[in-house]
């Protein structure tokens, strides 16, 4: 008696193979963003982080900061997660539910230009963060400053990692033509 088998679901593939380093770099973007987002959520939840009252005032806490800080953390992680599209099939084809574009290939520049601008913005942000931390006067304890720096320092890698993955995406997609 023959057993009917269902065909295995076809796993979508990228246009050209993605090397492990590019996959790891894209995943690292998500991970380097996590500590700063968690730090902001800890601030909102009232976890003592060594900050003075003037720092809470600057973050609009209490007040709009209870909304703004979690939204900033979510937006930051969402933007970081878009980096995964540069190494996954969903970054090469528009979703089927998009009218007029669904199922069509994503133009290379439609991904590379925003990613490149994002990489530039993240790099500038990282440099400005270091400058501000080293030269700004903050009302924060020594351990609070250490903790904040430990949570925000990984963001310095966001721009360079995104740049590397973006260049790889551009080269890979252009070579696949």
DSSP 88-124: SGGGTB--TTSTTTTTSBPPHHHHHHHHHHHHHHHHH
The size of the chain, in residues, is 177
- Would you state the torsion angle of the CA atoms of residues 56, 153, 116, 40, taken in this order, to the nearest 10 degrees? -30
pLDDT tens for the 177 residues of the chain, in order:
555 555 555 566 777 889 999 999 999 999 999 999 999 999 999 999 999 999 999 999 999 999 999 999 999 999 999 999 999 999 999 888 889 988 899 999 999 999 999 999 999 998 998 888 878 888 999 999 999 999 999 999 999 999 999 999 999 998 866
- Cβ atoms of residues 69 and 43 within 8 Å: yes
Residue 166: the pLDDT is 98
Count of Cβ atoms closer than 10 Å to residue 158 Cβ: 26
pLDDT digits (tens, 9 = 90+) for 69-113: 999 999 999 999 999 999 999 999 988 888 998 889 999 999 999
Q: Is the pTM of this model over 0.95?
A: no
Place of tokens 């601008």: 117
């Amino acid at each position: 008696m023959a057993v009917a088998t269902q065909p295995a679901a076809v796993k979508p593939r990228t246009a050209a193979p993605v090397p492990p380093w590019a996959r790891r770099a894209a995943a690292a973007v998500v991970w380097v963003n996590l500590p700063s987002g968690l730090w902001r959520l800890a601030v909102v939840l009232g976890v003592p982080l060594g900050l003075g009252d003037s720092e809470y005032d600057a973050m609009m806490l209490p007040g709009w900061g209870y909304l703004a800080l979690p939204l900033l953390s979510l937006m930051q992680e969402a933007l970081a997660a878009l980096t995964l599209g540069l190494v996954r099939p969903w970054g090469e084809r528009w979703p089927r539910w998009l009218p007029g574009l669904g199922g069509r290939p994503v133009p290379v520049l439609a991904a590379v230009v925003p990613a490149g601008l994002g990489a530039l913005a993240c790099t500038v942000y990282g440099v400005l963060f270091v400058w501000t931390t080293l030269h700004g006067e903050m009302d924060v304890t020594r351990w609070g400053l250490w903790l904040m720096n430990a949570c925000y320092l990984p963001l310095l890698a966001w721009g360079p990692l995104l740049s590397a993955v973006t260049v790889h995406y551009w080269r890979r997609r252009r070579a696949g033509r």
